[in-house]
Amino acid sequence: MLNRKEEQSMIGISACLGGLACRYDGQKKEVPELMELVETGEAVMVCPEVIGGLPIPRDPAEIIGGNGFDVWKDQAKVWTTSGEDVTEAYKNGAIKAYQKLQEKHIDLVIMKEKSPSCGTHSIYDGSFSGIKKNGAGVATAYFIQQKMTVLSDEEWLKTRGEQNGNRKDQSNERAL
């Protein structure tokens, strides 16, 4: 069992980033550095879509009428390519994922950009044409409303690299 200090240092991550094949297409988007944190017990994986009851694989879904914050205000919905309204599954999954993270006293989450659930700055525009727009996913919006810190996988990797002195400009200089 973890003591309180160890629990506080843990982070949450989108499960697909940790190596779980839970994306809509049954794939994963693993990030080796995040997988290592899972393996060492420093990260907890959550997939709000699966926790919300959606299957693997599942039809692609996008937020129509706004972004994740608008979904929580009942001003937007999450629809699949086959025309199914999956808004409630997304909302329920966000709440359950938040509860799982809170059990471990986690307040920092690394989420997968562009996902209708986990996108932090960018999601697809609802036209199912591959066009992106600014906005957060449903779970990300909920986590932010609950005062959690949410970073995209790209932000986290950049921050981690800068902390370790591994910025591209520095590594290129060393290679010369």
pLDDT at 150 over 80: yes
Q: Are the beta carbons of 153 and 34 closer than 8 angstroms?
A: yes
pLDDT band at 144 (very low <50, low <70, confident <90, very high): very high
Let me know: does 101 contact 109? Beta carbons within 8 Å.
yes
pLDDT (tens digit per residue) in 30-66: 999 999 999 999 999 999 999 999 999 999 999 999 9
pLDDT of res. 51: 98
Report how far residue 39's alpha carbon sits from residue 90's, in angstroms, rounded to the nearest whole number.
27
Over the stretch 92-123, which tens digit does the pLDDT of each residue have? 999 999 999 999 999 999 999 999 999 999 99
- Angle between helix axes 87-103 and 138-145 (nearest 10 degrees) is 50
Residues 54 and 93 sit within 8 Å (Cβ to Cβ): yes
Q: How far apart are the first and last CA of the chain?
A: 48
pTM of the model: 0.87
Determine the pLDDT at residue 3. Answer: 47
Residue-level pLDDT at 4:
44
Sequence-separated (6 or more) residues with CB below 8 Å from residue 88: 52
